[in-house]
Amino acid sequence: MASILAPVFGVLGVPLSAKATVDAVTTDVTEARPLERRVDTVLRVGPSDGQDFLLAIESQSGKVAGKERSWAYYVAFLQAKYGLPVLLLVVCQDRLTAKWAAGPFDCGTHGWTAQRTRPLVVGPENLPVITDARTAVNNLALAVLSALAHARSADCGAILEALTTALHETRETDPETADYFYDFLEISLGNSPAGMKLKEIMSFVSYFPGRGTVRETAYQEGKAEGRDEGRAEGEAKGILSVLEVRGIHVPDTVRERITSCTDLERIDQWLERSRTVACAEDLFAENPEVPGTCSG
């Protein structure tokens, strides 16, 4: 994946060895207590000519009050957990958000700075519009970040068409990389207009059999396991998988209720709801149209 990331580091002005290794790292930066903090994706980069480091990537559609504190937490937590330097890359969708995200953000008082967070920032201003599938294949990571940065542009549809074609072609030779970038793109776009456009494109093509949506992926995995362990158990695993991929915290009480349920009609309903609920408890809401009991 190192050669795939090279164009991104070129845009950022950060040197990266051509022989570097790149591996995905868990994105969960949640403490033991039920406090959900999850960065979009984390990569471990191993340059052949230097120390390994972590690259945490966040997609930011607009300025969010207090987000800079979450970023400082991500960096500090990942550095403490892995004992490695951490770079934070924020992908923005407009110039004002990019200007804000660049920081720096300081934590300190009385003229003393205890911690400073300075994200690397990319957005429409420094990421190209890639609407040619061949260009996307040759610059896959750059094309994915470009799709996020230009998600609000008139070219969004053409960008996603080219990118899904590129992911399909990449999947034939490197399925792990293609699946990784598709999942990252789908989760980052979420239910935004661009995210819905991506799902629309995927619903009409067979680029990713069984991977058209996060829900479909988890459902198919759950069904496969269900053939051996029982359909209810298989679909329960599917529900938990959907919530995990979406970054939804699942309390032990909710997990127990899901895994112990044998009512197929009810568990089918929960599986459908797992695609859109804001918190795990809303799976059980009597009226899913009414906001549930999620806490901030």
Antiparallel, parallel or unpaired: β 53-60 and 112-117: unpaired
pLDDT per residue over 249-290, tens digit each? 899 999 999 988 888 888 888 888 888 888 899 999 876 555
| Long-range contacts of 97-106, Cβ-Cβ distance < 8 Å, separation of 24 or more | 97/60, 97/61, 97/62, 97/63, 97/123, 98/122, 98/123, 98/124, 98/125, 100/63, 101/60, 101/63, 103/68, 105/68, 105/69, 105/71, 105/72
d(CA 36, CA 106): 23
Is this prediction's pTM over 0.85? no
Whether residue 177 contacts residue 4, with contact meaning beta carbons closer than 8 Å, is answered with yes
Cβ neighbours for 30, distance < 8 A, ≥ 6 positions apart: 36, 37, 38, 249
Average pLDDT, the chain: 79
Lowest mean pLDDT among 32-46, 108-122, 157-171: 32-46
pLDDT at residue 289, as a whole number? 53
pLDDT per residue over 96-137, tens digit each? 999 999 999 999 998 899 999 999 999 999 899 999 999 999
pLDDT at residue 247, as a whole number? 79
